Structure 1
Amino acid sequence: MVAAGKRKALIALVGGAVLALTGCGSSTEGSAPETPSVAAEVPTGFEPCTDIPQEALESEGLRDPMPDDASANGIKWDGCMWVQTDGYSAAIRTTNMTLEMIKGQGFPGTLEFETGGRSAIVSQQGKTQVEASCNVNVELAGGSLEFLLTNPPSRSKTGHLDTCELARNLVGKVAPSIPADA
């Protein structure tokens, strides 16, 4: 299980990204800055805690799900976190953050791709030990499905592996199960 301190650090990290996201906007000469349009709630149609195929979780050795909901400055996350014994942890949550909001931040390692017939974006949003965490967001109506992997180098099973490759692999196993109308 992820220690409470590590979980708080993850929430603080994501909160910092939210502050950056909600503080951005475009402006033109003589007009007030616009803030990004954010849905009031997270997308519906896919519940990470119950809709992820068990075989996908088992193939990755992910177990011990626990609720992992958060909100900050109008941005919301609803989902669960799983752990892999002496490997990475994965928070998989629906969020009202869109791919456009994430792309606009210029996070390191940002790359757009398609998975399961959906647009997705991978980025490294961490401020410290950037290579030990990776975010992948898969487009949903009104937001995205976020995969946040944390993979400290001290983990014997996965610490030596590229965190973003691990994240994209997991996304590839889950994305086909997302309903077309989600």
Structure 2
Amino acid sequence: MKSLLSATLLATGAVLAMPAQAQDQPGDKVNMVIIYGEDECPPSSDDVINVCARKAESERFRIPETLRQSDAPDNVAWTQRVDRYETVGKFGALSCSPTGAGGFTGCTQALVDAAYGEKKEAPGIRFSQLIDAERQDRLSTIDAEAAAEQERVEQIEKQYEARLEAERNAPLPGEEASAPPTDLITPPSEPDSE
């Protein structure tokens, strides 16, 4: 019985260890390469997979884009430094300061001002300006199309009114077309009083 139990435990341990052994084997090596301009991506070999990212030729000898901007104090503009010095002594209402009564009331405004400042000086694509420009282009074509459509509708209305006027002035069937209608009314004749 002990031998059966130990054999079962040994077999279970071996079965559970098989996936772990499969995971221990190293997979293919991956080589990530950044290439510039028209450079060729090095071919992959049997044991190494080459993955290439292509960038413009103008980026070849430049500092990587993620390292170009720095928030170090040395890189802060003087106007921003002066603004910071001006706010050192601010406390009280609308100051976003832990000291003084109502110091917390200016924190939201400070966050909003900081966000707009970052947005204003951000070097990235300004989608709001692109959207506004596209809207203006679209509205200019819509206005031109609307003016052309309005002119076409007015022309159709004039033609329709001219046709109605011609139908009103046309003689009815059975009427004489040669004798124009007279506007004079003949009074009824009075009987003679003889």
Question: Given the two structures, how large is their TM-score scaled by the length of structure 1?
Answer: 0.18
Which one has a larger percent strand, Structure 1 or Structure 2? 1
Higher relative contact order (CA 8 A, sep 6+): 1
Which one has a larger percent helix, Structure 1 or Structure 2? 2
